[in-house]
Amino acid sequence: MASTCETCGVEFFRRKRKRDKLRFCSYQCYWDSLKRLVVLQCQECEKDFVLAKSQAERGDGKFCSIECKSISKRGPHWPPVDRRTLEYRAWAKAVYTKDGFCCVKCGKKGKRGNRLNAHHLFPWADFPSLRYALHNGITLCQKDHIEFHKIHGASGYLNNLGGF
| Residue 49: predicted pLDDT | 85
| Residue 60: predicted pLDDT | 76
Residue range 44-67: average pLDDT? 80
The pLDDT tens digits of the residues spanning 61-71 come to: 788 887 787 77
Residues 6+ apart with CB under 8 A from 64: 42, 44, 45, 47, 49
Please give the C-alpha separations between residue 125 and each of 46, 51, 69, 96, 130, in angstroms, as whole numbers: 24, 34, 19, 21, 10
Distance CA 42, CA 65 (A): 8
Distance CA 24, CA 15 (A): 13
Please give the C-alpha separations between residue 46 and each of 9, 49, 62, 101, 144, in angstroms, as whole numbers: 32, 9, 10, 48, 41
Distance CA 92, CA 37 (A): 53
Confidence of residue 17 (pLDDT cuts 50, 70, 90): low
Question: Domain spans of the chain?
Answer: 1-35, 36-78, 86-159
Check pLDDT > 80 for residue 10. Answer: yes
The pLDDT tens digits of the residues spanning 114-153 come to: 789 999 888 877 788 888 999 999 999 989 988 888 887 7
User: Please, what is the average pLDDT of the chain?
Assistant: 80
| Residue 156: predicted pLDDT | 65
Higher pLDDT, 100 or 71: 100
Q: Which of 84, 75, 89 shows the shortest CA–CA distance to 155?
A: 75
Check pLDDT > 70 for residue 81. Answer: no
